[in-house]
């Protein structure tokens, strides 16, 4: 059986427990045995998990257990845009899921950034629209979020892929190199040429952490099996030399040319890190008739990417972005303070993991799959030491 990611939400379990155990402010909300919730003043009643909401529509419940006071949410993408089929798309899905659960008000605000110059005006727009929780999508939004959070202490901010940088900022980080390590081991075992490759959009921690874990996983495969599989695009001993396209736009010609240069060197399995910059590589592989594979990141690429590439996706390194964002909003909506805290998703808490092999299920030998599952277990238990194989910086 494959190891699946359960998308544990950011401290949502704590929020559920606390909300179920106490009354609301001023005794407005009462919960009895998880069966019925009545909110005075709002005329919102839930019995057995069925909700009737007043015209105000401010307070709802989830599963007959937790009362939410829906918050006005605003989501700001980084410059890859919401249609990246990966990072931003997952974060925005988390906001939409929060709206579906009643934690966020209907029709949350979506603001896309075409460049870093859009970060500040987009956050200003969120504030002008009365947002109570602003979700910044990406490591690069950190300085902007920090500035606006300090100036707006009554607004809750959630920063994806970075630690908290203020008392009203909830950080979310992911130890994706743990899962990437196992993906590298798998790639090394599946390569027919003995050469695998990786490239990223920009050399920032949230990109390079995938590449570093991947390369170290290949090294572990070589050590265990007496092999000599080569990794193109990343050397853990020289991270500044990592191969980057410099863009996250799949339409930029440099993306395909980066992949093609690695194809020219004999690579047959690729880990592109940076939204949809994997798609031009898939097209290049198809055009050349390469019997190889792509490894996805963040959201399961088999479902998230266009159907014509499904046969190429061997596995995806999953990151629980959607669940973390939903959990952050749900915790806020249930009255829990979030600022100053950071959630780190890892293998142990199912914040990261590997997807199913999908169309590659019958191609991956059972013996290799068993080794991959053991690698995941060994990382989680500490049998594979962090210092030896992985740069332990969440991202």
**CATH topology for 176-320+351-389?**
Rossmann fold (3.40.50)
pLDDT of residue 86: 84
**Side by side, which strands form the sheet with 293-298?**
230-232, 195-200, 269-273, 293-298, 313-319, 352-354
Please compute the mean of the pLDDT values over residues 132-157 and round it to a whole number.
96
Q: Is the pLDDT of residue 391 over 70?
A: no
Give 161's contacts (C-beta < 8 A, 6+ positions apart): 87, 137, 138, 139, 172, 173, 174, 206, 395
Looking at mean pLDDT, say which of 34-43, 121-130, 342-351 comes out highest. 121-130
Pairing of strands 195-200, 109-111: unpaired
DSSP 349-372: TTSEEE---GGGTTTS-HHHHHHH
Q: Is the pLDDT of residue 393 over 60?
A: no
pLDDT of residue 10: 40
Contact 275, 112 (CB under 8 A): no
Place 363 in a pLDDT band, splitting at 50, 70 and 90.
Answer: very high
pLDDT of residue 336: 85
Place 200 in a pLDDT band, splitting at 50, 70 and 90.
Answer: very high
Higher-scoring residue by pLDDT: 27, 236? 236
Contact 92, 304 (CB under 8 A): no
Please compute the mean of the pLDDT values over residues 109-114 and round it to a whole number.
96
State pTM to two decimals. Answer: 0.82
Please compute the mean of the pLDDT values over residues 248-254 and round it to a whole number.
95
Domain limits, the chain: 15-50+57-68, 69-175+322-345, 176-320+351-389
Choice among 21-30, 147-156, 327-336 with the minimum mean pLDDT: 21-30
Q: CATH number of the domain at 69-175+322-345, please?
A: 3.40.50.2300
Q: Is the pLDDT of residue 36 over 90?
A: no
Place 134 in a pLDDT band, splitting at 50, 70 and 90.
Answer: very high
Q: Is the pLDDT of residue 28 over 70?
A: no
pLDDT of residue 119: 97
Higher-scoring residue by pLDDT: 135, 4? 135
Please compute the mean of the pLDDT values over residues 372-393 and round it to a whole number.
77
Place 386 in a pLDDT band, splitting at 50, 70 and 90.
Answer: low
Please compute the mean of the pLDDT values over residues 368-392 and round it to a whole number.
82
pLDDT of residue 341: 80
C-alpha to C-alpha distance for 211 and 258, rounded to whole angstroms = 15
DSSP state for residue 71 in the 8-state scheme = B
**SS3 state at 298:** strand
Choice among 83-92, 111-120, 180-189, 386-395 with the minimum mean pLDDT: 386-395
DSSP 33-56: TTTEEEETTTTEEEETTEEE--SS
Choice among 26-35, 120-129, 221-230, 286-295 with the minimum mean pLDDT: 26-35
C-alpha to C-alpha distance for 242 and 272, rounded to whole angstroms = 12
Higher-scoring residue by pLDDT: 29, 309? 309
CATH fold match for the domains 69-175+322-345 and 176-320+351-389: yes
pLDDT of residue 328: 94
pLDDT in tens, 275-308: 899 999 999 999 999 999 999 999 999 999 999 9
C-alpha to C-alpha distance for 326 and 90, rounded to whole angstroms = 10
Averaged pLDDT score across all residues of the chain: 84
pLDDT of residue 13: 38
Structure tokens at 315: 């596995």
**SS3 state at 74:** strand
3-state secondary structure 199-216: EECCCCHHHHHHHHHHHH
Q: Is the pLDDT of residue 57 over 90?
A: no
C-alpha to C-alpha distance for 31 and 212, rounded to whole angstroms = 48
Higher-scoring residue by pLDDT: 340, 196? 196
Q: Is the pLDDT of residue 16 over 90?
A: no
pLDDT of residue 1: 37
- To the nearest whole percent, how much of the chain has pLDDT over 90? 75
Choice among 37-51, 276-290, 326-340 with the minimum mean pLDDT: 37-51
φ, ψ of residue 236 in degrees (nearest 5): -55, -25
pLDDT of residue 389: 58
Place 54 in a pLDDT band, splitting at 50, 70 and 90.
Answer: very low
C-alpha to C-alpha distance for 373 and 313, rounded to whole angstroms = 18
């Amino acid at each position: 059986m494959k190891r699946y990611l359960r998308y544990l939400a950011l401290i949502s379990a704590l929020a559920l427990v606390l909300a179920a155990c106490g009354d609301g402010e001023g005794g407005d909300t009462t919960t009895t045995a998880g069966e019925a919730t009545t909110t005075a003043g709002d005329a919102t009643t839930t019995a057995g998990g069925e909700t009737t909401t007043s015209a105000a529509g401010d307070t709802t419940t989830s599963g007959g257990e937790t009362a939410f006071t829906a918050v006005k949410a605003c989501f700001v993408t980084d410059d890859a845009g919401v249609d990246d089929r990966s990072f931003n798309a997952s974060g925005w899905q988390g906001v939409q899921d929060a709206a579906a659960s009643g934690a966020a008000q209907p029709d949350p605000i979506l603001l896309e950034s075409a460049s870093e110059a859009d970060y500040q005006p987009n956050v200003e727009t969120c504030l002008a629209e009365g947002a109570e929780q602003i979700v910044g999508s990406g490591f690069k939004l950190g300085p902007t979020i920090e500035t606006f959070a300090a100036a707006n202490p009554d607004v809750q901010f959630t920063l994806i892929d970075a630690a908290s940088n203020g008392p009203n900022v909830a950080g979310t980080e992911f130890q994706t190199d743990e899962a990437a390590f196992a993906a590298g081991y798998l790639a090394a075992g599946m390569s027919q040429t003995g050469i695998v490759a990786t490239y990223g959009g920009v050399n920032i921690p949230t990109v390079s952490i995938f590449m570093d874990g991947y390369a170290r996983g290949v090294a572990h495969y070589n050590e265990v099996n007496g092999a000599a599989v080569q990794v193109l695009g990343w050397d853990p001993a020289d991270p500044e030399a990592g191969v980057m396209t410099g863009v996250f736009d799949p339409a930029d010609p440099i993306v395909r040319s980066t992949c093609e240069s690695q194809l020219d060197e004999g690579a047959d399995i690729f880990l592109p890190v940076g939204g949809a910059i994997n798609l031009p590589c898939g097209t290049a592989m198809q055009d050349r008739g390469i019997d190889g594979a792509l490894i996805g990141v963040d959201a399961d690429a088999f479902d998230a990417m266009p159907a014509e590439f499904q046969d190429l996706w061997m596995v995806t390194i999953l990151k629980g972005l959607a669940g973390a964002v939903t959990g952050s909003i749900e915790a806020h909506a249930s009255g829990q303070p979030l600022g100053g805290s950071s959630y780190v998703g890892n293998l142990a808490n199912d914040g990261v993991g590997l997807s199913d092999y999908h169309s590659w299920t019958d191609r991956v030998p059972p013996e290799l799959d068993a080794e991959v599952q053991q690698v995941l277990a060994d990382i989680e238990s500490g049998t594979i030491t962090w210092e030896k194989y992985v740069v332990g910086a969440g991202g």
